[in-house]
Amino acid sequence: MKKVAVVRILDVLIIIAICVLIYILVQPQFVRYRNQTIEAQIKANAYTVKAAIEHYIADHIGVYPKSVDDFWPYLDEEGGIINPLTGNEILKTEVHTFKYDVPQDYKDDSPGGVNSQQKGTPGSIGVGFFIPIGDTLVKHYGVIGFNKSGNPLFYLDPGKKRHIFVIYG
């Protein structure tokens, strides 16, 4: 009787050990895939914001929006944007806005550029506008997404050089 109980306990311990081993092997891949999915959803949100801005521009005969308030109604038509970290709809107040000082800043994807220096709500979007000195109309814009640390999303090119993910127009 003791021998049967020992064998059953040993069987259970072996099964537990196998489960722990599988968890140890699979968990890092699961976390990596989950992070990639979150980043892909943030990028999709950035493209949705770009589509809403372009829709605004088309409806206003080439005039760019000056603020989030201008293009926000178009986001509903484009399907809205959901924060992948919370699962909640991103509010207008969560969209970080900023201004570009130099005309080329809107497409700057360098690690030390103006886009890389922005901070925002994790999982949300940032929109930058360039208005030339002495003008009142926006001439360019850039859209960036924020990772779970609130920093701009980045990617590595084939040469392993880091770039900020920015969509501009």
What's the domain range around 154? 42-168
- Round to whole Å and give the CA distance between 107 and 169: 8
Among 156, 142, 146, smallest CA distance to 114 is for 142
What per-residue confidence (pLDDT) applies to 47? 94
What per-residue confidence (pLDDT) applies to 5? 62
Tokens of 43: 């990028």
Q: Is residue 15 situated within a structural domain? A: no
Give the rounded percent of residues in the chain with a pLDDT score beyond 70.
Answer: 96
Q: Is residue 29 situated within a structural domain? A: no
pTM above 0.75, yes or no: yes
Tokens of 20: 């722990």
Q: Is residue 1 situated within a structural domain? A: no
Q: Is residue 36 situated within a structural domain? A: no
What are the beta bridge partners of residue 126?
Answer: 96, 144
- Per-residue pLDDT tens over the stretch 102-149: 888 888 899 989 999 999 999 999 999 998 888 888 899 999 999 999
Q: Is residue 12 situated within a structural domain? A: no
What tens-digit pLDDT sequence spans the chain (169 residues)?
A: 556 666 688 888 888 888 888 888 888 888 889 889 999 999 999 999 999 999 999 999 989 999 999 999 999 887 789 999 999 999 999 999 999 998 888 888 999 899 999 999 999 999 999 988 888 888 999 999 999 999 999 999 899 999 999 999 8
What per-residue confidence (pLDDT) applies to 122? 94
Structural domains counted in the chain: 1
Q: Is residue 7 situated within a structural domain? A: no
Q: Is residue 20 situated within a structural domain? A: no
- Round to whole Å and give the CA distance between 106 and 96: 15
The dihedrals phi and psi of 56, each to the nearest 5 degrees, come to -60, -45
Q: Is residue 87 situated within a structural domain? A: yes
For residues 69 and 75, is the Cβ–Cβ distance under 8 A? no
